Structure 1
Amino acid sequence: MKRFAYMLLASGLLASCQNELYNDPVKDHEVEQGAYIHGQDQTQIFLLNGDSQEATGPRIDLVKPATAPVTIGFSVGDKAQLDAYNAKNGTSYTLLPKEMYEIASSVEIPAGKVSATVPIKLKKVTFAAGQIFALPLKLTGAGAHAIGGQSEALIVVDQATETKVLRINTGNEIATYFPEDILVPQWTMEVMVYRTNINGALAGTKFVGASDDKSEIYPVVGADGSFLRTGGTDLTLSKDIMPLEGKKWYMFSFVYDGANVSVYCNGRLVLNQPVREGDYKLGGFWLSTTRGLVRELRFYKVARTPAQIVANVWKTVDPTDPNLVAYYPMNGKKYDHATGKVTEDETQIWDWSSNGRHFTNLQGATFVQNGDKLYRFPLPATK
């Protein structure tokens, strides 16, 4: 009987210790006031090169309503914090220069409220090619204790894109074949589309030589469900997992890490599933003949990180990235790697990577703008 009692006591102590290890940090501040950064650890702001803008940064929350006004202090511009973030997430953000912003060192949360956003004024932000700025922010406490693990964030300042896009208006296949097979142990493929009727294939890989269906990448999307055929497997995405509708822009990202495939829609992870291990053999690329608009077909020979996927949803990417197998902005322009010069040329779908794997036959596809204006990305916020 005593032994049984000791066992109960021991199990109770173990449970108590486990509870201490896995406490919710917010619950720890039910008596003491605490502050934390709400939601994701980065806030993105887009503007055109050279523009100024008043914008909103991250939201700071209290664990309970303030009984009196609470001032929450924070530090900004810590390069070590940014370096640590870049190293962890595979990003290469540049610290936003001090002359390009104004920001306070605190915000006040009024009595009875539980949150406030951090305002920032951006001043004539000038980007170099492929450059993304970031301003790290860290809570320092002051009127409330900063909750560990939820006290840091980045304000990411990126260049908005104004561009033409490719209109598919033909039933003929648009494809490019490589002169040699390309083996990749990992890969990332991304493509953005807009269609009146969303249903149809997107883009994918061609077979050559000894290629087999285990190297196929064949995504099909639809309002009633989607699927990705790859690695000899059909991966199903129900409309509940990835709801889609016509007359909207979507960026689809597919990532293979050597064994598993992840699928993202507009930067949101919707599926992660094992397929098979081993290299993929690439023979070329094709574009869907489904009528609509398309831009930004990218293929990397590495598995891009979730942070990289999110950061590059709406934008053009760095054409000098050595991990690019091919990169098609589909903007009616070509890029000269020797000079860095971009010129208008709508005779082909130009590969902006250093590999020169162009789509040389448009098959009737054309480069178009949005009425009398260029398309702008990211899309304007809708209410």
Structure 2
Amino acid sequence: MNAIMERWQYFMTMTDVRLLIRHQAANTLSVKMVMSTVAKSRNKERAKENRRLRKEELAYLRSRVTELSRQLHAETKMLPWQEVAHALQSESSTAQETNRALRRDIIRTTVLLECLLALVAGPMARSPETSPFVQASGWKNQAILGIDGEARVASFQWLLSRLFHNTDMAYAQCPNTPSVRIDVNYDNHYISGCRGAQYIVPAPMDQAVRTLDGLIKCDIFFDRDNPTYLYDQELLQTPNFGPSTFHFGPGNGPTYLRGSQVSPSRAVFARCRVNFDAARPGIDQKEQIHHAWLVVEPLSESTSRLLSLDLIAIPTTISSEECALLLVEKLETVNAWTEPERLDALVTCIYNHCVNQEQQASNVFFKWLPFFVEPNEDQWKKVLQQISPSNGA
């Protein structure tokens, strides 16, 4: 009996296991069927999308084939020979213009190098520069290089910038009180004359500045027997230089460069002699140094201070012809002098020149000062009409 019961229990247990296995197998089969259905649906969608893309691509390719076929079968012809010739002519003209521009640059550069070689190899380049003014503003600052273009503009900028840079040094050479001081010195290389002066002007600074500016223009435009010529007006009448910058001089002699800087606290008028000009190589330029500064400063609402410095320097080795021309003497007389006699004559000449120039400049300035009370850009022209040769202005 016990054996029968044990067998019955075993049979029931095995039946439950078989049912469990059958249930799990049925569930697994159901999941697989669902997943298979989803996969088939996705595959159908992908296939449908691929067919649509292939149709669009095929339609695009057909349209391109049609367009290219139309272009292929269209009538084509060569460009007219006139158009081809015109295009080639334009390219040839451009190449020729470029070639000419390069040749002009080569010529300008060659001329500039020749000018530099002449300056560096000249006697002034080998002379020691012992004077403090000569050392700061010697032969190097008195040359205008370049016939035109950037080299010439750079030379003007260099000359003016060095002049204004040396304003404080010129200021220090002037007397500390209202007076005039003239010094003439010489060494083994140069004879130099320095004329410094200080004046108290009974007028405000702006009136003194207008007077100086007007008299400078009168001096440039004054109708003499030997008229003054203006050079490089187009280059200088630009914002880089200003309306009061002039390159002027007689037609057969050395030229001068003049410029000004005006501010509420100080006005500076500067001038230098040009010893070499590449645009006029045939002019006999003397190896002389001539710089001048005029400085105006306000003292009060009704007074101002005027300081002037004029520096002249000539080499002691100048030729007899140049010495005779400078001293207004006959060449035979100069040749008969000994070296000390010629040196004394040059020193006396420079001293007298400084004295006369200071008297003349101060007299002219204070004479015409009342005429520039009111601002008027054309006032200097009215003054110019009243100046006669006897005035010496």
More helix by share: 2
TM-score between the two structures when normalised by the length of structure 1 = 0.25
TM-score between the two structures when normalised by the length of structure 2 = 0.24
Of structures 1 and 2, the larger Rg is shown by: 2
More strand by share: 1
